Chain A
Amino acid sequence: MIEVMHLGKRYGETAAIDDVSFTVAKGEILAFLGPNGAGKTTTMRILTCFMPATSGTAKVSGFDIFESPMEVKRRIGYLPENPPVYPEMTVSEYLQFVAKIKGVPHKKVGAALASALEKCNLGDVARRLIGNLSRGFRQRVGLAQAMIHNPDVLILDEPTVGLDPKQIIEIRELIKGLGGEHTIVLSTHILPEATAVCQKVVIINRGRVVAVDSQERLSAQLRRSEKLSVRVRRGEAVDPQKILSIDGVQQILPQPAVDGEGVFIIESELGRDVREELAKRVVESGWGLLEMKPLAISLEEVFLQLTTEEKGVEEAAAAPVADGGVAV
């Protein structure tokens, strides 16, 4: 449904994104996960034909973003970081206007409005001025405008930013409900959001895709450990048992090495520094310690910059949510 091919965007000398490629299948919800400044918004703005890419291209529903931007625009619903609303308009006035400019035939505008109001739970505030709504409701109006023309693809840029935990849960449920019917790309810098809502995750950092993974495998990565790389003179002499017996060490992985040297990756419990004890064992055993360094795998480096915990949301999710009736 969406094919992104080697997208690049430069601002003068600096590249905001570089060689970004991924695909999204029909009906899939994909998380575009990365810390602030990673290039999520830039990618989404290119996909929605808001701004041109410097290199590469993308296809949405088979239409190229450069060759047929109008066809692409007709098939995409976009919620930018800030919902693009007119505060002086009422919710239904605004949604009717959006339906018309998105190309919904005039006769069907009423039906489109009714369906969007219902799906986004906006019935009660349809006649209210958007400027008087809470942040959560405004975000739902943003979602409603993105889906009012029933597009194939929804592009949602950080849809839960700035909301309180209760609103976050509501918006996520709403988005999950839209999956299947629409293909969704959702950007976020919150790891649990990606794993809670999406089937597939693309991780982007400093403008580059660093990993593409399924939600399950990403969650497995999350149970991460400290990794150390150790190089010794006499590799064949190493007795793994001696190292595994150190308190906190979980695994030892031999790596290919040359000239009889041995290289091992040693995984230990998170937050446990085993270096001192490890060095002692290696030296006492006479294996010839040459080098010991912590491994910074690129993905882990990214994880460190992501928001991995959500205060309040988990508790709120556990608490029973009153159905429908929501404070404005």
Chain B
Amino acid sequence: MRNILTLAEKELKLYFISPIAYVLAMVFLMVSDYLFHSQVFFYSTLSSQAMRAQGNLPQINLHEILFRPTFLNMSVILLLIMPLLTMRLFAEEKKGRTTELLMTSPLTITEIVLGKFLAVWFLYALLLGLTLHLPLMLSHVTYVAWKPLIASYVGLLLMGGVFLSIGLFASSLTENQIVAAVISFGILIGFWLIGMTAQTVSDSSVGEVFSYLSLIDHLDNFVKGMINTRDLTYFISLTILGLFLTHRVVESQRWK
């Protein structure tokens, strides 16, 4: 455990030294804010139309109309941003020949993989934490349902874990960071397409399988305020699978 924390600390240090974390945080925040505010704008025109037509405010679920679309759109932004966070994790070590340092130190490969994963996951949690200003801001002017919000953030954290473990895996495959990013984009877009397909063939049994595989469908359950074991299992097992594959790749590279 001590080793994992030492490794994670080093990764975080390197993230905060390089500009990439700051640039990505800024882009992510700007886009999230934009998505949220366009949703607010949409909602306010909608409600004023409704007021004019009926003379009173219709029953609207704020979470449903403001946060749900924001979070679902945010997941697409994350899909584009996360590979840029993970691409350096192993590729940079290989390029800089520092793998030799790690692999000849008394560390297990599991510790190395977990150290890197925890570091980038923590960074992602910080990034996500920055978007909390949106509900906080809103809570000043109106009632905010915190329960589904908490569920949404749990869902986003877990889905991020999947994105990051896939990105880590991609990074272990190559010493070229761009290639690593492209591989993880490829895999994540694959998952996204599965989700799209699931919607178009929703009523067949194939659709059911696709829907189970779709990251977005599972996230949507969290965003609706439901935390159930099916979705938890899905995210957590995919994350572990990514980490396991990374472990195998790193181990196998010793034999080359």
Give the one of B97, B101, B103 with max A CB within 10 A.
B101
A11 to B105, CA, bound (A): 24
Q: How large is the interface on B (under 10, 10 to 19, 20 to 34, 35 or more residues)?
A: 20 to 34
User: In the complex, what residues of A have CB within 8 A of residue B208's CB?
Assistant: none
In-complex Cβ contact of A88 among B18, B104, B254 (8 A)? B18
Q: Is the CB of B10 within 8 A of A97?
A: yes
Does B44 belong to the interface (CB within 8 Å)?
Answer: no
- Contact assessment for B98 and A73 in the assembled complex, using a CB-CB cutoff below 8 Å: no
A25 to chain B, nearest CB (A): 23
Chain A CB within 8 A of B13 CB: yes
When the two chains form their complex, are residues A52 and B254 in contact, meaning their CB atoms are under 8 A apart? yes
User: Is A93 on the interface with B (CB-CB < 8 A)?
Assistant: yes
Asked if A50 and B96 sit within 8 Å, CB to CB, the answer is: no
What is the total number of residues of chain A having a CB less than 8 Å from a CB of chain B?
28
Given contacts A89-B13, A93-B13, contact A51 B101 (CB under 8 A): no
On chain A, the residues within 8 Å of B103 by CB distance are 49-50
Q: Which residues of B contact A84 (CB under 8 A)?
A: 96-101
For A253, what are the chain B residues with a Cβ–Cβ distance below 8 Å?
A: none
If A86-B14, A89-B13, A97-B6 touch, whether A102 touches B98 (CB-CB below 8 Å) is: no
Q: Which of A75-83, A164-172, A180-188, A214-222 lies at the binding interface?
A: A75-83
CB neighbours of A74 from chain B (8 A): 106
A-side contacts of B143, CB under 8 Å: none
Tell whether B189 is near chain A: CB-to-CB under 8 Å.
Answer: no
B104 touches A50 (CB 8 A): yes
**Contacts A48-B104, A50-B103, A101-B102; is A87 near B96 (CB within 8 Å)?**
yes
Nearest A residue to B6 via CB reads A100
Q: B84-119, CB under 8 A of A: which get 1 and which 0?
A: 000000000000111111111111000000000000
For residue A195, CB closer than 8 A to chain B, the reply is no
CA distance A227 to B158 in the complex (A): 75
> How far is B105's CA from A98's CA once the two chains are assembled, in angstroms?
8
- How long is the Cα–Cα vector from A184 to B93 in the complex, in angstroms? 26
B97 engages A101 (CB within 8 Å): no
The answer to whether A101 touches B105 (Cβ under 8 A) is yes
Closest chain A CB from B79 CB (angstroms)? 28
Q: Does A145 contact B (CB under 8 A)?
A: yes
| In the complex, residue of chain B having the shortest beta-carbon distance to the beta carbon of A71 | B106
Q: Does A240 contact B (CB under 8 A)?
A: no
* 8 Å CB contact of A102 from B10, B17, B96, B106: B106
Q: Roughly how many angstroms separate A87 CA and B92 CA in the complex, as a whole number? A: 11
Complex CA gap A74/B18 in Å reads: 31
Contacts of A100 in B (CB 8 A): 2-3, 6
The smallest beta-carbon distance between A41 and chain B, in angstroms, is 10
Within 8 A of B (CB), among A47-99: 48-52, 70, 73-74, 76, 78, 80, 82, 84-89, 93, 97-98
A50 touches B254 (CB 8 A): yes
Q: Give A50 to B100 CA distance when docked, in angstroms.
A: 7
Q: Which residues of A contact B10 (CB under 8 A)?
A: 86, 97
A84 to B100, CA, bound (A): 7
- Determine whether the beta carbon of A80 is less than 8 Å from that of B14: no
Instruction: Say whether A103 faces chain B, with CB atoms less than 8 Å apart.
Output: yes
B7 within 8 A of A: yes
Contact A73:B255 (CB < 8 A) given known A80-B100, A93-B13: no
Name the residue among A48, A78, A100 with the largest chain B CB count within 10 angstroms: A100
Complex contact A51–B254 (CB within 8 A): yes
> Which of A52, A82, A88, A102 is within 8 Å of B105, CB to CB?
A102
A70 — which chain B residues lie within 8 A by C-beta?
Answer: 106
Q: B129-145: contact bitstring with A at CB < 8 Å (1 yes, 0 no)? A: 00000000000000000
Are A88 and B17 interface neighbours, CB within 8 A? yes
User: What are 29 sample pairs from A and B whose C-beta atoms fall under 8 A apart?
Assistant: A45-B100, A49-B104, A50-B104, A50-B254, A52-B255, A73-B104, A73-B105, A76-B104, A78-B101, A78-B104, A80-B100, A82-B97, A84-B98, A84-B101, A86-B10, A86-B96, A86-B98, A88-B14, A88-B18, A89-B14, A89-B17, A97-B6, A100-B2, A101-B7, A101-B105, A101-B106, A102-B106, A103-B106, A145-B101
Closest 8 interchain pairs by CB? A84-B101, A73-B106, A48-B104, A100-B6, A84-B98, A82-B97, A101-B105, A80-B100
Given contacts A48-B104, A76-B104, A145-B101, 16 further A-B contacts (CB under 8 A): A45-B100, A49-B104, A73-B104, A73-B105, A84-B99, A84-B100, A84-B101, A86-B14, A86-B98, A89-B14, A100-B2, A100-B3, A101-B6, A102-B106, A103-B106, A106-B2
